[in-house]
Amino acid sequence: MADMNTNVNIVWHGGATGNGMLKAEYLHTKVAIPTSLGGSGHGADPKELLVSSAATCFIATLTYMLESRKLPVVEHTINSEVMISKDGFNIIHYPQIILSADATEAQIQSAQRAIDGADKGCEVGNLLKKAGVTIEVQGKVFLK
């Protein structure tokens, strides 16, 4: 992993039922304690931020892999969900890749392999896995 330095600043107002403003170089959002934990719920909670980080890392890694393979990508998306229980912390990524209608079978298979590769190559996901988080990927490739 390359050396990286980043700075995040949060200013909080109003106690547990208030909220904060998180600022980073390219991120500016409200954060809050969820209502289920006695907070206001008026902002992103830590779990949302964590799964957002994992999803962003996954799709950025996937984007790089798809581009390096020169695949005819029309669009690619990801939906991710987190489930937290007494048994653990689980994230499921649902990436979808849409290739042009004239994509070959080899290109379809390459896109599918890129989904698996993005899971293995995502540094945030790998850190979370080392911390005991289960990450599952259920990706699909379509033609348009």
Per-residue pLDDT at 131? 96
> What is d(CA 122, CA 116) in angstroms, rounded to the nearest whole number?
10
Domain boundaries of the chain, sorted by first residue: 1-44, 46-143
109 and 99 in contact (C-beta within 8 Å)? no
The DSSP symbol for 43 reads: S
Sequence-distant contacts of 45-49: CB under 8 A, at least 24 apart: 47/82, 47/84, 49/22
pLDDT of residue 3: 77
Task: Tell me how far apart the alpha carbons of residues 41 and 140 are, in angstroms, rounded to a whole number.
Answer: 33
CA–CA gap between residue 51 and residue 90 (Å, rounded):
10
Superfamily (CATH H level) for 46-143: K homology (KH) domain (3.30.300.20)
> Greatest CA span in the chain, whole angstroms?
57
- Environment class of residue 144 by beta-carbon count within 10 Å: exposed (0-12), middle (13-18) or buried (19+)? exposed
- pLDDT score for 2: 62
Helix (H) or strand (E) holding 66: helix 46-68
Ordered per-residue pLDDT tens for the chain, 144 residues: 567 788 999 999 999 999 999 999 999 999 999 999 999 999 999 999 999 999 999 999 999 999 999 999 999 999 999 998 998 999 999 999 999 999 999 999 999 999 999 999 999 999 999 999 999 999 999 999
Could you name the CATH architecture of 1-44? Single Sheet (2.20)
Cα dihedral sign for 52, 37, 83, 1? positive
pLDDT at 1: 53
What one-letter code names the amino acid at 51? V
